[in-house]
Amino acid sequence: MEGDGFCGGFFQRCKPYIAMISLQFGFAGMNIITKVSLNRGMSHYVLVVYRHAFATAAIAPFALVLERKVRPKITFLMFMQMFVLGLLGPVIDQNLYYAGLKFTSPTYSCAISNMLPAMTFVMAVICRMEKVDIRKVRCQAKVIGTVVTVAGAMLMTLYKGQVINFLGSQYMHHPRNYVPENTTDSAEKDWVKGSILLIIATLAWASFFILQAVTLRKYSAQLSLTAIVCFLGTLQSIAVTFVMEHKPSVWNIGWDMNLLAAAYAGIVSSGITIYVQGIVMQKRGPVFVTAFSPLMMIIVAIMGTFILAEKIYLGAIMGAVLIVIGLYSVLWGKYKEQGEKTIEAVTETETVKCCNGNLETVIEGAETNDIEMQKGEGCKELRVAISVPKA
């Protein structure tokens, strides 16, 4: 029985880690499939619309059934928060991310996305969700990590260097109809443009996490929140697509890679991901949720090199190393901060228990004194009753 209890407790502690690691594999697959679809000519505006339509269709039935009794009422302020969430995530972040992915590569896009924890930390400080005491080592680590992360992203953007060939990657077979990266001089300008788009997309995604954490404090129905955000994102993306794309043919989609990219990205990378991230965020906070992005970069680098013949440059590797170092410097500071909060919480609990114990002792002593006094008064009354007849 004790072994079962230990295993159960260990699994409960590991669940947030297992959930976030699983999501990174889902994200990695989405990057590879989406890159193939975009290179075959699919509009990223249309892809975002179909993606969130699939996400809404997958999540909404579960939200209607499972949360019908616990769903809070939506106020105007809460609806505006959901509207902005749909704008930040589905519209701004994903359209810019797909555009940057089209100009660069899956591995490069994932590496830039590793700026997410540092950006989330900076925005959390601005919104007073994080406190910075520069005299403490953990705060210094978070600040230095943020600076190093930004430096790594700048290095990846401004310096490419020579191509790094992995053993055997040039001999692998690649998907049919796959269009490789542009190797002309215009690719240099596209690379910088794609980098800027990816950085802005990451900033929008960090803003999404901060606002999602704020919204979940008052609207705790995660499935319903996910479905509403995906639905609003679908409507907003349709409006953006009508403005940016004027050919009706861009909406055509068949039983091919485009349909797979939209369905996979919608169900896995939007519906399931937003829901799981919301649950983990309520327990561990937004910084923890963004801590596992380097794993996605490693998975995508391996898959992209051997499946898509992706070119990896020296500057990208150097910048990615700096980003990962800065990332885990921020996470180390966050880990130390969480440990201090745990110690403070335990100390406060013990103090309350001691105070309650002293209070109970005082109450018990007072009750004992009252009983003794009542007994004494009873004895006096008894003695009086006996002595009167003798007189």
3-state DSSP helix/strand/coil % of the chain, to nearest 5:
80, 0, 15
**What pLDDT is attached to residue 233?**
93
pLDDT of 75-105, one tens digit each? 999 999 999 999 998 899 989 998 888 888 8
Q: Binning pLDDT at 50, 70 and 90, where does residue 296 land? A: confident
* More reliable by pLDDT, 360 or 32: 32
pLDDT of 119-139, one tens digit each? 887 888 888 777 777 888 888
3-state secondary structure of 163: strand
Q: How far apart are CA 71 and CA 75, in angstroms?
A: 12
Mean pLDDT of 342-368: 60
Q: Is residue 304 a contact partner of residue 33, using CB atoms and an 8 Å limit?
A: no
**What pLDDT is attached to residue 88?**
92
* More reliable by pLDDT, 47 or 326: 47
Q: How far apart are CA 96 and CA 76, in angstroms?
A: 29
Beta strands (DSSP E) in the chain are 163-164, 312-313
**Nearest C-alpha neighbor of 231 from the set 289, 276, 270:** 270
Q: Is residue 150 a contact partner of residue 237, using CB atoms and an 8 Å limit?
A: no
**What pLDDT is attached to residue 66?**
87
Q: 192: exposed, middle or buried (C-beta count within 10 Å: 0-12, 13-18, 19+)?
A: middle
pLDDT at 362 over 70: no
DSSP 313: E
pLDDT at 389 over 60: no
Mean pLDDT of 143-167: 77
232 token code pair: 């609003």
* More reliable by pLDDT, 169 or 314: 314
Mean pLDDT of 272-283: 81
* % of the chain residues with pLDDT over 70: 79
Whole-structure pTM value: 0.69
* % of the chain residues with pLDDT over 90: 15
DSSP 363: H
**What pLDDT is attached to residue 235?**
95
The CB density around residue 374, as the number of other CB atoms within 10 Å, is 10
**What pLDDT is attached to residue 380?**
41
3-state secondary structure of 168: coil
**What pLDDT is attached to residue 188?**
62
Greatest mean pLDDT among 223-232, 330-339, 378-387 lies in 223-232
3-state secondary structure of 115: coil
**What pLDDT is attached to residue 390?**
38
Q: Binning pLDDT at 50, 70 and 90, where does residue 164 land? A: confident
